[in-house]
Chains A and B, each alone.
Chain A
């Protein structure tokens, strides 16, 4: 294993619909705030990593030039919803190998450019040509999960209710009003059994974190920091035939590797920001992340074990369901939430004595794969 790596700063804009902001307009403020909060100068930055999926050529350079941050390597990363977290993984690799000391990571996405509707997927993909959309993928997961387990549509609704409850406490969330199970179930159907509040809203967003080596952190040591205990990136593996959609192997594999790297288990976690793009995902990921045995995720949910006061608070930010899901920004925003929770800066949604946090984000609908990418990070309060 390499050198210790720390997150020393985080900033983001509230996720929402910013029709008059470009990628640059979305990202510049959190970029400046993250640098200021870290107590560093532009000249301290050794590299910039930028996660986005729909920003077009040189998105990172377009943003950084506005503040005169240039010369250093700037890497644009596209891994669908995992883009931002993949950018963090790349920064972590460079620092842990001792190649650089300070990296700025930007996650940014402007989905209002598409005027609403589901995410545009690659027209080269076989199943995209047949009409697959991301809500349908998760809906089929849900159909099968409800068929195989005791879970009910009410449980799917309960995930959204929890997300909205958490989101109501989070000034960075797009949806800040609570919702009832009845309201979720009676809402507009999107892809059976999923209704509108069981699907994350699109929107725009930008989040920035700054990573530093132990050596660099000592230079800025008056500031709060968290340690990166694990950073794992996996790609999907093709199945030409049967795949159990309720047991996403890419998340099982990534979680196994992340726990091994961090030297902890699921019971040690105080919070998780997981990829709840659709409510069924949260249940399936409880199991994939080792919180519950396969088929038993609903017990945790119904018993309140995954909300404030429970064993582990899942998506204290409100998750993608309440916060929104500007794909390239989401993974970095999850890490910002972990940073704030583990450094006691989470305000009304602060988890008491939080020490260990996990962030989990998958990405990409591609024929034959569970997901294209999965990134998991584990952080320890430093």
Chain B
């Protein structure tokens, strides 16, 4: 028999082990992101493949704690009462869905928001935005 080349087995990704979006970093609790070391693309969550260049050389990074509220809604259906939810464009350009806490000033698109962590994580109007009122 001549030497044969054996096809390597592809391996499944254990993505269910790492689905928390919030994590501990030197700068504190931050949203977990992934940065591609090949093309620089930054993504939300613990990812193992870059959605831009399909490189598997991806590092876990802390995402910025501040950003801009792109849009929001208050969900009235479901068990949790009225729940404000929005899309936040973080300062590095990554978009995340997030619970939004309302406080004293009404929510509006394009307002500055920042991450806060109590029992759970959420975004709230940023201090700089509060001073405008």
A residues bordering B, Cβ < 8 Å?
A: 117-118, 126-127, 129-133, 135-136, 139-144, 147-148, 188-194, 238-243, 245, 367-368
Q: Does B57 touch A at the CB level, under 8 Å?
A: no
Q: Do the beta carbons of B19 and A131 come within 8 Å of each other?
A: no
Contact with A along B68-87 (1 / 0, CB 8 A): 00111111111010010111
Question: Given A117, A126, A194, which contacts B45 in the complex, CB threshold below 8 Å?
Answer: A126
Contact with A along B24-43 (1 / 0, CB 8 A): 00000000000000000111
Q: Do the beta carbons of B83 and A241 come within 8 Å of each other?
A: no
- Who on chain B is nearest to A239 by CB? B95
Q: Do the beta carbons of A240 and B109 come within 8 Å of each other?
A: no
Q: Do the beta carbons of B73 and A139 come within 8 Å of each other?
A: yes
- Who on chain B is nearest to A367 by CB? B97
Chain B residues near A192: list those with CB within 8 A: 73-74, 76
Number of interchain pairs (Cβ within 8 Å):
94
Rounded to whole angstroms, the CA-CA distance of A129 and B93 in the bound complex is 22
B contact residues, total (Cβ < 8 Å): 33
Q: How far is the CB of A143 from chain B (nearest CB, A)?
A: 5
Chain A residues near B109: list those with CB within 8 A: 143-144, 147-148
Evaluate whether A118 and B71 lie within 8 angstroms (CB atoms) in the complex, with A238-B51, A241-B95 already known: no
B residues bordering A, Cβ < 8 Å?
A: 19, 21, 41-45, 51-52, 70-78, 80, 83, 85-87, 89, 93-95, 97-99, 108-110
Q: Do the beta carbons of B70 and A129 come within 8 Å of each other?
A: no
Q: Do the beta carbons of B45 and A140 come within 8 Å of each other?
A: no
Question: Given B44, B76, B78, B83, which contacts A240 in the complex, CB threshold below 8 Å?
Answer: B44
Rounded to whole angstroms, the CA-CA distance of A143 and B77 in the bound complex is 17
Q: How far is the CB of B51 from chain A (nearest CB, A)?
A: 5
Q: How far is the CB of B84 from chain A (nearest CB, A)?
A: 9
Evaluate whether A140 and B76 lie within 8 angstroms (CB atoms) in the complex, with A126-B44, A130-B21, A238-B51 already known: no
Evaluate whether A132 and B77 lie within 8 angstroms (CB atoms) in the complex, with A240-B94, A243-B95 already known: no
Question: Given A127, A133, A147, A240, which contacts B75 in the complex, CB threshold below 8 Å?
Answer: A133
Rounded to whole angstroms, the CA-CA distance of A274 and B109 in the bound complex is 27
Chain B residues near A239: list those with CB within 8 A: 95
Q: Do the beta carbons of B51 and A240 come within 8 Å of each other?
A: yes
Evaluate whether A131 and B83 lie within 8 angstroms (CB atoms) in the complex, with A118-B77, A190-B77, A241-B95 already known: yes
Q: Do the beta carbons of A144 and B44 come within 8 Å of each other?
A: no
Chain B residues near A241: list those with CB within 8 A: 89, 93-95
Residue of B87, B89, B94 ringed by the most chain A CB atoms within 10 A: B87
Rounded to whole angstroms, the CA-CA distance of A192 and B71 in the bound complex is 11
Chain B residues near A190: list those with CB within 8 A: 75-77
